[in-house]
Structure 1
Amino acid sequence: MAGQSNTGIESAAEHSLPSPCLCIYHRPMFALTGATGYLGQSILRQLHVANLSVGAVIRAGSDRSILESYCGWIAEAPLDDVDALAKAFKKADVVIHSAALIDIRRGNLAMLRKVNVEGTRMVLEACRRAGVRRLIYVGSIESFDLSPLRRPVREDFAFAEGTAILDYGNTKADASRLAVAAGFQGELETVIICPTGIIGPWDYNRGLFTTMLTAYFHRKLPCLIPGGFDFVDVRDVAGAVISAAHKGRSGESYLVSGNYVEICQMFQVLEKISGVKAPRMVLPLTLARLMAVVLEGWAGIFDKKVPLTRGSLKMLSMSVRVSSAKAAEALGFQARAIERTLEDVVKWHRDPLANDIDCRPAASAFSGRS
């Protein structure tokens, strides 16, 4: 609950742990899981711009087309093969573990646990075997216990223990606890970055938000759903992840938030930017819940992902506010205004090959480096 450590373990400061030990004079070598994912691609771009060496750790059969321009090496290693992971991590000072299974449906808990929890366990063990100095684990706002909503969510909120709104959140909470515990064992430094809802350009994998926007731009989105959420630009999250490599304190988690916005307000902004008329009808909550039940049933039968479930609707209806003050102070994190993000989203949707979209974060991920 609020006011307690999110791990049940004393903070790193209480153990007088040293400041991040990746020397700012040393240019670390990175290895990145989830490199072909939405966030992973932005991390790759920013490391490339900073002239830092990075290797991509991918599944067999992954699309390598975006990787070859940014990566020093590419290694195939499934998350359930600790030996292959350790071999892939051998060159790395820092491993960024952004690979995850995101599924907002019910009924897929076994696969979520296999990828998100057991996969993280394997990554941690592989880091130890390979002699990696630091692991940056990409968590999620959904891993926190969001029930005590008396104030903005902060890092002292507990990680959920089976009480997250989504099964996905419960598995990310379990994985986050593994990462924090590993940091306190002393063999490996671990830092957890927990973003809110990630949006922005370059979502070539067509996630749920991008799929909804595509329907909107093609005038096939008949109505909007009630509620709102905190959305953060993918480039700003990537910047926080990279900053954590040399500024984050081992055993600590950092919330990375952007702007809380109602869904209907977001589409009003999109209408002003794009000129495409936004839907005027917002579904009543009762009708939206009924639609979520129908969509979940359809998704279960045909094994499809859907943009609306009972869990995601509950998240949107809770008006969750999030504080990123800790990340701002420790990592130099800064979130851009959502209008700037949506301007680039519209630009990218109109021209997926547009080369005038800045890949850098709002705050430089490398400020303070010597």
Structure 2
Amino acid sequence: MSQNTAFVTGATGLLGSNLVRLLIERGYGVVALVRSLEKARRQFPDLSGIRLVVGDLDNVAAFAPTMQGCVVVFHTAAFFRDNYKGGRHWQTLQRINIDGTAALIEQAYQAGIRRFVQTSSIAVLNGEPGAIIDETDERDPAGADDYYRSKILADQAVRAFCASHSAMNATFVLPGWMWGPGDRGPTSSGQLLLDTVRGKLPGLVPGSFSLVDARDVASALLAAAERGRSGERYLAAGRHMTMAELIPLIGQIADVPTPRRKLPVALLYLIAGIQELIAGLSDKPALLSFATVRLMLKEAGRSHFNPLKSQRELGLVFRPLELTLRDTLAWYRAHEWLSESAGARP
């Protein structure tokens, strides 16, 4: 291993894969935790300096020995099926997001690692519609949906461990809705872009969001590891935007027509039911799940986040969203997800 070797969970995901590439570029060695070697080899076909480890947060002890010799853990893995394919999954959310995180930081400490970067979420924060939200605006877990609550409790597990192990330096990075190249899942953002370009959107949905490039979040994670203050949160939420603004922008960049009519709430719930049924029978995410519809309505206007702390302490800079969308679209076209002959994922 190199002198500076990082352990990365969720390494084949949108954020994890961009973080791995950034770490290699900055001279780190990488031990990458993956669930599928096949997917990892597709994601990193030509990347040197990376060691692939197959494992799952369901059983941290099984891969724990591979953390030996690493100097930092970047925890980007999470379970978010309730907003991805619909349904209720609290037991799995607790087992993976909360218990898995607690086990991971414990095993990292046992392996001699003293720096841990937790990928949190804007889900742990809350504010009034239209208010500018910063890292101090706590969300009450009692009023959060299952995924949001799991992220709050996962962060609490990290804090509880550090409270009894003062030598562990842990920082928290809070991303918004991530977009960017390398989204092989695809996640909800990639699926939305694909469906928009393919003309599959029936109309515009309500709500506002905070969009950020996964590459910028990766930069925030690395900066948090190198110069973040232990116990501190750092927002990497990106740009506030409504769906009525986002969809036409995607259409403009992709040079495709996009819908203009806004869908009524009752129709959104009907579409969510159909989408969850389709998602349950396929490997594609639901464009709309019941959880997503509920969140869009509840969180409307609560997506203005203050990046000043991250800019000041981490030097975080957000690239223009238009560039992110162009790069994401170019990646899908280059990898033939938008081939004229098919129009479906390869």
Tell me the TM-score normalized by structure 1.
Answer: 0.81
After superposition, give the CA deviation of every residue in 1:235-292 in whole Å (9 maximum; x if it has no partner): 1001001111111111111111111111121122122222111112220234324433
Q: Which aligned pairs between 1:236-315 and structure 2 lie closer than 5 A?
A: 236-293=216-273, 295-296=275-276, 305-315=285-295
SS of alignment partner, residue 224 of structure 1: coil
Counterpart position of 2:65: 87
Residue 78 of structure 1 and its aligned partner are, at CA, apart by 2.6
Q: Which aligned pairs between 1:76-115 and structure 2 lie closer than 5 A?
A: 76-103=54-81, 104=83, 105-115=86-96
After superposition, give the CA deviation of every residue in 1:39-77 in whole Å (9 maximum; x if it has no partner): 100001111111221111223656231346144322233
Q: Residue type of the partner of 2:101?
A: T
Q: Which aligned pairs between 1:14-33 and structure 2 lie closer than 5 A?
A: 28-33=4-9
CA distance 1:261–1:279, change in 2 (3 Å):
same
CA distance 1:155–1:118, change in 2 (3 Å):
same
Q: Following the alignment from structure 1 to structure 2, what is the Cα–Cα distance between the partners of residues 286 and 338?
A: 31
Counterpart position of 1:141: 122
Contact 2:175–2:217 under 8 Å retained in 1:
yes
Pair 1:336-2:316 in alignment: no
Residue 345 of structure 1 and its aligned partner are, at CA, apart by 1.9
Q: Following the alignment from structure 1 to structure 2, what is the Cα–Cα distance between the partners of residues 302 and 351?
A: 24
Which of 95, 108, 114 is residue 127 of structure 1 equivalent to?
Answer: 108
Q: Residue type of the partner of 1:134?
A: R
Q: Following the alignment from structure 2 to structure 1, what is the Cα–Cα distance between the partners of residues 215 and 36?
A: 26
Pair 1:175-2:154 in alignment: yes
Q: Residue type of the partner of 1:119?
A: G
Q: Residue type of the partner of 2:103?
A: M
Q: Following the alignment from structure 1 to structure 2, what is the Cα–Cα distance between the partners of residues 204 and 300?
A: 19
Contact 2:269–2:290 under 8 Å retained in 1:
yes
CA distance 1:60–1:294, change in 2 (3 Å):
closer
SS of alignment partner, residue 235 of structure 1: helix
Residue 94 of structure 1 and its aligned partner are, at CA, apart by 0.3
CA distance 1:130–1:326, change in 2 (3 Å):
same
Cα RMSD over matched residues?
Answer: 2.5
Residue 296 of structure 1 and its aligned partner are, at CA, apart by 4.7
Identity %: 29
After superposition, give the CA deviation of every residue in 1:97-129 in whole Å (9 maximum; x if it has no partner): 111111213411111111111110110111111
CA distance 1:229–1:246, change in 2 (3 Å):
same
SS of alignment partner, residue 301 of structure 2: coil
Counterpart position of 2:184: 204
Q: Following the alignment from structure 2 to structure 1, what is the Cα–Cα distance between the partners of residues 139 and 68?
A: 31
User: Which segments of 5 or more consecutive residues in structure 1 lack a partner in the other structure?
Assistant: 1-25, 354-370
Q: Following the alignment from structure 2 to structure 1, what is the Cα–Cα distance between the partners of residues 138 and 38?
A: 35
The more displaced of 225-234 and 60-69 is 60-69
Q: Following the alignment from structure 2 to structure 1, what is the Cα–Cα distance between the partners of residues 196 and 128?
A: 34
Residue 298 of structure 1 and its aligned partner are, at CA, apart by 6.4
Q: Following the alignment from structure 2 to structure 1, what is the Cα–Cα distance between the partners of residues 34 and 280?
A: 28
Pair 1:219-2:219 in alignment: no
Counterpart position of 1:319: 301
SS of alignment partner, residue 323 of structure 1: coil
Q: Following the alignment from structure 1 to structure 2, what is the Cα–Cα distance between the partners of residues 27 and 125?
A: 22
Report how many aligned residue pairs link the two structures.
327
SS of alignment partner, residue 255 of structure 1: strand
Q: Following the alignment from structure 1 to structure 2, what is the Cα–Cα distance between the partners of residues 304 and 73?
A: 28
Contact 2:196–2:250 under 8 Å retained in 1:
no
SS of alignment partner, residue 193 of structure 1: strand
Counterpart position of 2:329: 346
SS of alignment partner, residue 264 of structure 1: helix
Q: Residue type of the partner of 2:113?
A: V
Contact 2:37–2:52 under 8 Å retained in 1:
no
Q: Residue type of the partner of 1:348?
A: W
SS of alignment partner, residue 80 of structure 1: helix
Q: Following the alignment from structure 2 to structure 1, what is the Cα–Cα distance between the partners of residues 168 and 89?
A: 31
Contact 1:257–1:335 under 8 Å retained in 2:
no
Counterpart position of 1:368: none
SS of alignment partner, residue 187 of structure 1: coil
Contact 2:193–2:250 under 8 Å retained in 1:
no
Contact 1:180–1:192 under 8 Å retained in 2:
no
SS of alignment partner, residue 137 of structure 1: strand
Q: Following the alignment from structure 2 to structure 1, what is the Cα–Cα distance between the partners of residues 207 and 60?
A: 42
Q: Which aligned pairs between 1:24-43 and structure 2 lie closer than 5 A?
A: 28-43=4-19
CA distance 1:83–1:285, change in 2 (3 Å):
closer
Contact 1:53–1:71 under 8 Å retained in 2:
yes
Q: Following the alignment from structure 1 to structure 2, what is the Cα–Cα distance between the partners of residues 271 and 77?
A: 39
